Structure 1
Amino acid sequence: MNDSAEADLQCVLAYHERTKHRLERYAAGPETLDWSAQPDPFRTFAGAERILLPLLADGLTTPYSDLHLPGAVAPHAMTLDTVALLLELSLALSAWKEYGPDRWSLRCNPSSGNLHPTEGYLVCENVQGLADGVYHYLSRDHALERRARPGDDIVSGPPRLLIGLSSIHWREAWKYGERAFRYCQLDTGHAIGALRYSAAALGWGLRQVDTASYAAVAGLLGLDRSADFSGAEPEEAELLLEVIVDSAEPPALPAFADLDWTGKANVLDPHPMYHWPVIDQVAEASRSPGEKIPARPPTDYPLRSGLPAVAAATVIRQRRSAQRFDRHFELAGEAFYALLDALLARPCAPWDAWNFAPALHPVLFIHRVEGLAPGLYALPRSATGERKLRAALRQDFAWSRPEGCPEHLPLFQLAEGGCGPAARTIACHQAIAADSAFALGMLAEFEDTLNAAPWRYRQLYWEAGLLGQALYLEAEARGLRGTGIGCYFDDAFHELLGLSGKAFQSLYHFTVGSPLDDPRITTEAPYARTRT
Structure 2
Amino acid sequence: MLQSLRRYHEITSYQRDAMSGGYLEWSNQPTVYKRYPNAPRVPLPMELDFPSVGMQELMRDPFAFKISQTWDLKKLSGILRLTCAITARSSHPGGDFFYRSTPSAGALYPCEIYLAASGINGLPAALYHYNLEEHSLVKLRPLEPRGAADACSLTFFVSVIFFRSSWKYRERAYRYLLLDSGHVLENLLLALRATCTPHRTLLDFQDEKVNSFLGLESRQEVCLAMVEAGDLESGASPLTEALSESSYPFPKPEPPAPRETIYPAILEAHKAGCCPMRWGEGPVLRMLEELGLALGPSQLMEAAQPRLDEMGYVESLWRRRSKRAYLPRPMDKQSFCCLLESLNIHGTFSCRKSNQLLAIGLLVREVEGLDCGFYLLDTEKGAIYEAAKGDLSKGMASACLDQAWMAQASLQVLFLSNLEVLESRMGPRAYRHVMILSGRLGQRIYLASTALGLGACGVGAFYDREAASLLGLNEFSKLLYVLTSGPVRGRAPWVS
Q: CA contact under 8 A between 2:56 and 2:342: conserved in structure 1?
A: no
Change in Cα spacing, 1:519 to 1:501, as seen in structure 2 (3 Å) is closer
1:506 alignment counterpart: 479
Q: Amino acid of the residue matched to residue 87 of structure 2?
A: S
1:399 alignment counterpart: none
The 5 A counterparts of 1:493-532 are 493-502=467-476, 504-516=477-489
Query: For the residues of structure 2 that align with 1:239 and 1:188, how far apart are their CA atoms?
Result: 8
Q: CA contact under 8 A between 2:3 and 2:269: conserved in structure 1?
A: no
Residue among 15, 27, 40 paired with 2:8 = 15
Structure 1 position 499, deviation (Å): 2.1
Consecutive unaligned residues in structure 2, runs of 5 or more:
285-300
2:62 alignment counterpart: 70
Change in Cα spacing, 1:243 to 1:98, as seen in structure 2 (3 Å) is same
Structure 1 position 243, deviation (Å): 1.4
Structure-2-length-normalised TM-score: 0.86
1:473 alignment counterpart: 447
Query: For the residues of structure 2 that align with 1:515 and 1:303, how far apart are their CA atoms?
Result: 25
Change in Cα spacing, 1:435 to 1:210, as seen in structure 2 (3 Å) is closer
Structure 1 position 98, deviation (Å): 2.8
2:251 alignment counterpart: 263
Q: CA contact under 8 A between 1:92 and 1:140: conserved in structure 2?
A: no
Change in Cα spacing, 1:290 to 1:143, as seen in structure 2 (3 Å) is farther
Residue among 380, 383, 388 paired with 1:415 = 388
Residue among 365, 368, 387 paired with 1:367 = 365
Change in Cα spacing, 1:249 to 1:335, as seen in structure 2 (3 Å) is farther
Q: CA contact under 8 A between 2:63 and 2:193: conserved in structure 1?
A: no
Consecutive unaligned residues in structure 1, runs of 5 or more:
1-6, 227-232, 383-407, 522-532
Query: For the residues of structure 1 that align with 2:385 and 2:147, how far apart are their CA atoms?
Result: 57
The 5 A counterparts of 1:394-409 are 408-409=381-382
1:341 alignment counterpart: 341
Structure 1 position 470, deviation (Å): 1.1
Residue among 17, 34, 39 paired with 1:43 = 34
Q: Give a deviation string over 1:250-293, Cα, whole Å, max 9, x none.
A: 86833246886442111121035x54221111121112447788
Deviates further, 100-109 or 511-520: 511-520
2:296 alignment counterpart: none
Query: For the residues of structure 1 that align with 2:29 and 2:82, how far apart are their CA atoms?
Result: 26
Residue among 158, 176, 186 paired with 1:183 = 176
1:198 alignment counterpart: 191
Partner-residue secondary structure (3-state), 2:240:
coil
Change in Cα spacing, 1:152 to 1:381, as seen in structure 2 (3 Å) is closer
Query: For the residues of structure 2 that align with 1:303 and 1:333, how far apart are their CA atoms?
Result: 11
Change in Cα spacing, 1:204 to 1:476, as seen in structure 2 (3 Å) is same
Partner-residue secondary structure (3-state), 1:96:
strand
Query: For the residues of structure 1 that align with 2:138 and 2:473, how far apart are their CA atoms?
Result: 48
Partner-residue secondary structure (3-state), 1:439:
strand
Change in Cα spacing, 1:150 to 1:74, as seen in structure 2 (3 Å) is closer
2:457 alignment counterpart: 483
Query: For the residues of structure 2 that align with 1:154 and 1:193, how far apart are their CA atoms?
Result: 28
Change in Cα spacing, 1:292 to 1:360, as seen in structure 2 (3 Å) is closer
Q: Does 1:319 align with 2:343?
A: no
1:391 alignment counterpart: none
Q: CA contact under 8 A between 2:307 and 2:334: conserved in structure 1?
A: no
Query: For the residues of structure 2 that align with 1:236 and 1:458, how far apart are their CA atoms?
Result: 13
Residue among 434, 441, 465 paired with 2:407 = 434
Change in Cα spacing, 1:178 to 1:210, as seen in structure 2 (3 Å) is closer
Query: For the residues of structure 1 that align with 2:373 and 2:408, how far apart are their CA atoms?
Result: 14
Structure 1 position 127, deviation (Å): 1.5
Change in Cα spacing, 1:505 to 1:195, as seen in structure 2 (3 Å) is same
Alignment root-mean-square deviation, CA: 3.1
1:113 alignment counterpart: 106
Query: For the residues of structure 1 that align with 2:482 and 2:404, how far apart are their CA atoms?
Result: 13
Q: Amino acid of the residue matched to residue 12 of structure 2?
A: T
Q: Does 1:285 align with 2:276?
A: no
Q: Give a deviation string over 1:53-84, Cα, whole Å, max 9, x none.
A: 11245643233333124345657532211111
Q: Amino acid of the residue matched to residue 41 of structure 1?
A: V
Structure 1 position 145, deviation (Å): 0.6
Structure 1 position 375, deviation (Å): 2.0
Structure 1 position 442, deviation (Å): 1.0
Structure-1-length-normalised TM-score: 0.80
Q: Amino acid of the residue matched to residue 78 of structure 1?
A: W
Structure 1 position 177, deviation (Å): 1.1
1:527 alignment counterpart: none
Query: For the residues of structure 1 that align with 2:166 and 2:455, how far apart are their CA atoms?
Result: 27
Q: Give a deviation string over 1:372-409, Cα, whole Å, max 9, x none.
A: 22222221345xxxxxxxxxxxxxxxxxxxxxxxxx52
Partner-residue secondary structure (3-state), 1:89:
helix
Q: Does 1:235 align with 2:221?
A: yes
Q: What is the identity percentage for the equivalent residue pairs of Structure 1 and Structure 2?
A: 25
Structure 1 position 329, deviation (Å): 2.7
Change in Cα spacing, 1:175 to 1:198, as seen in structure 2 (3 Å) is same
Partner-residue secondary structure (3-state), 2:326:
coil
1:400 alignment counterpart: none
Query: For the residues of structure 2 that align with 1:513 and 1:278, how far apart are their CA atoms?
Result: 36
